[in-house]
Structure 1
Amino acid sequence: MVGEWQASIAPPQMADWVTIAACLVAAAMSMRAAARGTSAAFERHFWQFAAGLLVLLAINELLDLHTLITIAGRTHAKAFGWYGAHRAAQYAFVIALSGVAAMAGLAILWLTRRADHAVRLAVVGFAFIGLFALLRAASFHHLDDFLGGRTFRIDWSSVPEMVGIGIVASAAAIYPRTPDMDAS
């Protein structure tokens, strides 16, 4: 099982390294937002959580962990004789994951209803990243064909993820300083 997976970017592509760098820059910007933020503990914790999540995304991109999970699932399905029904299991997984994501999204929107607009914008960025990850988890071949292909020498597979990361980074950049910090 693990023989099919390599703990590295395989094959190395510039888009992967750019995505990793973008995640790490956005994580640093999120930590900066947490440090300069208001006295609201929730917002400070939100930005710290955002930074941690972005670091985890960078690690996943570097180690290709989502491929390892896919290989493990395929191996399990073959070993226990239900690989022939893997599409139905995949469909049920995506539906369940979509439901959980929708409920989590609504909960997060409710929790951030009084937060600064930059926090809510970051939530939109993470929702964009999450939607893209959900679509990839569904393994829609049409999406894979489009995103995996190259048009005009652009690797489209990282564009949706980069947009979400960019939204989070932009939100961290516009997050306001405390009034005491602006006076100094």
Structure 2
Amino acid sequence: MDWSQVNWQPQIGDPHFMGWVTVLVYLGCAILAFKLSLNATHCFKQHIQKQRTFWGVVAFITLLLAINKQLDLQSLLTEIARTLAKEQDWYDKRRKLQRIFVIAVAFTGSTTALLLALYYRKIIMINALALLGICFVIAFVVIRAASFHHMDHLLNQYIAGVRLNWAFELIGLALISANAIRRLNKNTRHRASVD
């Protein structure tokens, strides 16, 4: 592959106010999840390790997405795919391949969510909002990375002064945060009642 054809340079991806707010929210989610991964107590005793693992994975994912938010790494992947498509002469078929990519990602994401729900079935009800939030955020990132022009157009629309891009991303993060805060509060109350 000819790397000189890749039109990407490391830079701040969203240098505006809401971009930085979103990064801070991602970091806040990562901190809350990390805290829960260390202090998961208010759960069935045999499931505490699953609870810790679950929140450790959430912390890792949200930290990676915080870094990605400003480094714009999905744009690098899109540029690499575009360059390869042009070099290997399948650029004209990119729309069909984008559809296949989105279907494959949707299938993989759904299957992964189902497997996680089965594995964590004993603790899923107390973490359902976080799981839904993670699925929401990852779906948003993947759709954004697929770079469909009509999706980009939709996500850049404003409703009541709020860009849909911000709303979609922040809704998932709000779900994760709400679940984490609720779990932390229950852990605190549980420790207080034990003392």
Q: SS of 1:4's equivalent? A: coil
Q: CA, structure 1 residues 134+41, in 2 after alignment: closer, same or farther (shift >3 Å)? A: same
Equivalent pair of 2:155/2:165 in contact (CA under 8 Å): yes
Distance in 2 between the 1:100 and 1:90 partners? Answer: 15
Q: Is the deviation greater in 137-146 or in 109-118?
A: 137-146
Matching of residues 119-130 of structure 1 within 5 Å: 119-130=127-138
Q: Which runs of 4+ in 1 moved over 6 A?
A: none
Q: State the Cα distance separating 1:72 from its structure 2 match.
A: 0.3
Is the counterpart of residue 81 in structure 1 residue 60 in structure 2?
no
Is the counterpart of residue 42 in structure 1 residue 50 in structure 2?
yes
- Which amino acid is the alignment partner of residue 112 of structure 1? Y
Q: State the Cα distance separating 1:137 from its structure 2 match.
A: 3.6
CA deviation string 1:124-177 (max 9, x = no partner): 111111222233244333331121134554333121111101111111111131
Equivalent pair of 2:8/2:75 in contact (CA under 8 Å): yes
Is the counterpart of residue 115 in structure 1 residue 123 in structure 2?
yes
Tell me which residue corresponds to 2:10.
7
Q: CA, structure 1 residues 148+181, in 2 after alignment: closer, same or farther (shift >3 Å)? A: same
Q: SS of 1:30's equivalent? A: helix
Distance in 2 between the 1:122 and 1:88 partners? Answer: 33
With normalisation by structure 1, the TM-score equals 0.89
Q: State the Cα distance separating 1:13 from its structure 2 match.
A: 1.5
Equivalent pair of 1:148/1:157 in contact (CA under 8 Å): yes
Is the counterpart of residue 147 in structure 1 residue 150 in structure 2?
no
Identical aligned residues as a percent: 30
Q: State the Cα distance separating 1:82 from its structure 2 match.
A: 1.0
With normalisation by structure 2, the TM-score equals 0.85
